[in-house]
Amino acid sequence: MKIAVLPGDGIGPEIIAQALRVLEVLRKEGMPFEFTEAPLGGQAYDQYGHPYPEFTQKICRDADAVLLGAVGGPQYDNLDRPLRPERGLLGIRKDLGLFANLRPAVLFPELANASTLKPEVVTGLDIMIVRELTGDIYFGQPRGMRVNEDGEREGFNTMVYKESEVRRIAHVAFDIALKRRKNGQKGKLCSVDKANVLETTEFWKEIVIDVAKEYPEVELTHMYVDNAAMQLIRNPKQFNVMVTGNIFGDILSDEASMLTGSIGMLASASLNETKKGLYEPSHGSAPDIAGKNLANPIATILSTAMMLRYTFDNEAAAVRIENAVKKVLAADYRTGDIFEEGMKKVSCSEMGDQIVAAM
């Protein structure tokens, strides 16, 4: 069970340290984890002059799974675009063929008041957003900046999807919808597009409808992305599994994360066709609190649960970590981002202490 550990930038090293403490509990009980650390993002640029250097590439290719902290920081904003920390993240996704991003938005009952929405709107929230990760406008060619025929500068990108790319992400989403069925009911999958304006997503919709023929036990619906953004705020519990392209998924998954009260609570997984995965918190590198022991490590710890579930196929160990987090929240321990009056405010490492103890 080889795990490449990429602490990254900002609060990355602090939150990764707590996640490794949780995995260490399982390792001591017999799980054969092998951890190998490597740099990514700004940390890698500082050491090797590139955000995803060959040293890191080799370690990630040899690993069964990759655990990442976060990348980015204001000190890198003026670098040439190919050298910026975020390009390291795009690079590892492409290199490992990580095409399926899974972003759960789950509201823990203890945190209902932390959401900006009324508790009755969000209590019981449990959405899985499945985002295609290697195609769409983020990777389409041609792209760039140029002077056009009229002598005016312009920027341009290409939104494009191949049929094979849409089919494989649709299968992932339908399979997850099947697994999330309850009480013998049909699974629910909402495909998000902008088929009334964009031919690329009209094509997307056509392929998803075709794949649906293989999943009679899943109810497929469709929604335009602007309406989906609105419905996530108005009535988020109508959704179970959502599937969408790269750019829409990027936006909707961040929006859904705030329904839960803090992006510091939300894990994510990015998988390839062999179930090899990159596991990371949904939040960024938070340079304003880096090195202050203030970060919330829960999203990173929950990412290790996703790793155990999706790459190592160990549901029992995944649930054990998730239950440890639930116990600590039920005991009123909170980092600053989710703190309320009357709770016990703890640091990043103290939250790690509590979750390790609850294991």
Q: Which residues are catalytic?
A: 138, 194, 226, 250, 254
Give the rounded distance of the alpha carbon of 189 from its chain centre: 19
What is the rounded CA–CA span in Å between residue 79 and residue 348?
A: 31
Q: What is the dihedral of CA 69, 114, 351, 323, to 10 degrees?
A: -90
CB neighbours (10 Å) of residue 188? 17
CA 345/CA 22 separation, integer angstroms: 20
Q: How far apart are CA 349 and CA 201, in angstroms?
A: 44
CA-to-CA separations, 72 to 40, 104, 182, 267, 325, in angstroms, rounded: 10, 23, 40, 18, 27
For residues 291, 260, 241, 135, the Cα torsion angle rounded to the nearest 10 degrees is -40
